[in-house]
Structure 1
């Protein structure tokens, strides 16, 4: 937004936190920083993933029954005890027998699989297998103001009709006062259905909805390579390193401009 100014002291508030899910608020910054954080979380937070696989397949007696044997990621054993396959087991312990990891192969009677997998550290920018985020989205926090005086000119039936025009049920009617209230502002998807409905009822200006330019709501789902909370912390650290590199580059160029050969020497020239 042209002419807008933002306090460069971004704040984060965690709303919901699980090992593989995170919802948080980012405030007092602008869309460029929000999008930079999103991109870093997806593509530049390093993780460890299987990079090279050497497979030997032999028809030898290993599966001794007539039932199909499922070989999964949980059957992989690492030489480094700190590196383990992602655990997809329900934290509550429910149906743990069904959560045996990602299936690598199904073996029939008499078949054997020998597999040597090499895990390497990398980032999602190089290959999607290193991306720690399944999805990272953010939305502008909506700011909704109802014109109470204009709303009171509607009958109860008209109020219900207007409230029901919202596809995501952002509004409701107080059963006692019969006043329209905002119950789920973040459910608004900027579809403008309620605005169009108000205009069709001859009540333009019944509601004003705008996007806060310095407040964002993030939803993050982790692949399990790192916990969602650690993913956010790592992304912030990567972003700080990038900003420090830009600041250092600017300082070096400025020194070069001011001190000529001395500045060039500082850059190793």
Structure 2
């Protein structure tokens, strides 16, 4: 998710109200701006800890359901695409994009229209005591989470912020808004629930209950408003685990309510939530969105279409640092699929030379033949794989497909060592066998092709085993060409990884002691301190590259709404650590060539299929 929003600040728009989650601004005389923050409430109490990205999920869910249900009753939804909104809203795109709705201004009815298809939550608690739900007499012997014979309408009042909604009997609604309108609200609410529940069930989700809100225009016509069928307003259960007679697993904030009940929460005091509860609650929201909608995580106003011309304009590779074995570079202007393809190719598809066959003639050391052979196979070999052919299992070894090493080592006492010597390295000769003891045995014209010392282990000091006097090893090693996909020993890299470039934006000036503390919340070099025009120290972003995205700064109240922590999604910081057999720049070049070849093969295969059809 791009950023966390706990409270919006849009100075050029008139703030009308802040709800538990949503904030409402006036846009002209006939429209409103609904903003879904990342605040989360339970038992009508706003928790101290937000759920990052929650507001965007709620917005996308409401957009989906408004469109699906619009033939039953009109709704107040105008657009979720910020580029289609007035300039007064567009100027705040960085704050509200993908989490706001432009809606018609209507007169809100003072009730919440709750429809229940299953008995759960507060309805079950009331039924367990009195056999009623909202004062409505229910059938006997119902079990928790049981499906009702038909959905029931159980309205509640709309409480002010900090107060609690009160469940009321449907007859009370008639005295509040009039019988005709009350009957229409009940009828429409049940229609909306039935349509949504039927659709969700096909997706493997049970909508146990949900809350609708309504408003009227100047002609008295009824409109569906606010949010629709989100985890904040509904109870979503996975069909696969549904079982009558007990509480259900859920895709909604019932998970949070259950946690609060488990710690004897007083239902009154805002508290901090543990990271695990935050993460799992967000996961529930994501599951609800992905499971119940057709197009998960597409955001209005974002163009996801691929354009080769645009990609070629944006794509860049910038070398940040390079050494004989390591390289850091920036890959800019590509999708994560391209970055990951390069990473996987580097790990598993660039060929190298490694020891494949060990012909053990004599081994009297303590390390068994199989283990010794395995250790030998992991020694990187300095040889250009492009100079050798692939050896098939049916082929005999030749100077074109095989490199031969010999290992002939025998441990003996060192005649020059003192009688009191205890160090094995001094007391014995060849007490330790290293990779430098491997001797290249050129075959055919290999010596002419590669020189006397042209092929060797990359590192001379890799310990293979240890010996004691009288123990010896004699073997012949055959090296073949292979790739990491077949065995890790052929992988040319120790690591190949990438991360997104951090983007840190200080939205409000941070000065004085706060600036010093702000700097300490980041790794060294990320934030610098400079003097502002008043001679006070202020925090500025120096090098976001060094940031580890720890998000430590978000824990401190003095920095709320003063900083945004994001990552640039098409800017990848790539790291390659070579085994030393092939230099990192060469590895990158080879990986790009392989990716290009794969792309060409795919293009030809698609063309062939098209021609056949």
TM over 0.5: yes
3-state DSSP of counterpart to 1:190: coil
Contact 2:523 2:546 in 1 (8 A): no
Write out aligned runs for 1:8-87 (5 A): 8-9=311-312, 10-57=315-362, 62-66=410-414, 67-69=428-430, 70-78=432-440, 79=442, 80-81=446-447, 82=450, 84-87=455-458
CA change 1:58–1:50 in 2 (3 A) is closer
Q: Tell me what 1:207 maps to.
A: 563
CA distance in 2, matches of 1:179, 1:210: 21
Contact 2:332 2:571 in 1 (8 A): yes
Q: Tell me what 2:78 maps to.
A: none
Q: Tell me what 1:248 maps to.
A: 604
The worse-fitting range, judged by mean Cα deviation, of 57-66 and 235-244 is 57-66
CA change 1:245–1:162 in 2 (3 A) is same
Contact 1:19 1:229 in 2 (8 A): no
CA distance in 2, matches of 1:84, 1:103: 19
The worse-fitting range, judged by mean Cα deviation, of 4-13 and 108-117 is 4-13
Contact 2:328 2:576 in 1 (8 A): yes
Contact 1:77 1:84 in 2 (8 A): no
Q: Tell me what 2:12 maps to.
A: none
Q: Tell me what 2:547 maps to.
A: 188
The worse-fitting range, judged by mean Cα deviation, of 246-255 and 173-182 is 173-182
Q: Kindly provide the CA deviation profile for residues 203-232 of structure 1, in whole angstroms up to 9, marking residues without a partner as x.
A: 432112221121111011011121111111
Larger relative contact order, structure 1 or 2 (CA cutoff 8 Å, min sep 6)? 1
Contact 2:458 2:581 in 1 (8 A): no
CA change 1:181–1:132 in 2 (3 A) is same
The worse-fitting range, judged by mean Cα deviation, of 69-78 and 13-22 is 69-78
CA deviation after TM superposition for structure 1 residue 189, in Å: 2.2
Q: Tell me what 2:499 maps to.
A: 139
CA change 1:86–1:5 in 2 (3 A) is farther
CA distance in 2, matches of 1:55, 1:224: 27
CA distance in 1, matches of 2:491, 2:477: 19
Instruction: List alignment gaps of at least 5 residues for structure 1.
Output: 89-99, 258-269
Contact 1:138 1:217 in 2 (8 A): yes
Q: Tell me what 1:225 maps to.
A: 581
3-state DSSP of counterpart to 1:8: helix
Contact 1:168 1:187 in 2 (8 A): yes
Q: How many residue pairs end up in the alignment?
A: 239
Contact 2:412 2:429 in 1 (8 A): no
CA distance in 2, matches of 1:161, 1:58: 63
CA change 1:46–1:58 in 2 (3 A) is closer
Instruction: List alignment gaps of at least 5 residues for structure 2.
Output: 1-296, 365-407, 415-427
TM-score (norm 1): 0.80
Write out aligned runs for 1:89-104 (5 A): 100-104=460-464
Q: Tell me what 2:235 maps to.
A: none
Contact 2:518 2:539 in 1 (8 A): no
Contact 2:409 2:473 in 1 (8 A): no
Q: Tell me what 2:485 maps to.
A: 125
Whether 1:236 aligns to 2:566 is no
3-state DSSP of counterpart to 2:573: strand
Q: Kindly provide the CA deviation profile for residues 19-73 of structure 1, in whole angstroms up to 9, marking residues without a partner as x.
A: 1100001011110100110110011111010011111226699444341413222
Contact 2:409 2:474 in 1 (8 A): no
3-state DSSP of counterpart to 1:108: coil
TM-score (norm 2): 0.37
Contact 1:68 1:107 in 2 (8 A): no
3-state DSSP of counterpart to 2:360: strand
CA deviation after TM superposition for structure 1 residue 114, in Å: 1.1
CA distance in 2, matches of 1:61, 1:46: 30
CA distance in 2, matches of 1:223, 1:247: 33
CA distance in 1, matches of 2:476, 2:600: 40
Contact 2:505 2:565 in 1 (8 A): yes
Q: Tell me what 1:151 maps to.
A: 509
CA change 1:51–1:158 in 2 (3 A) is same
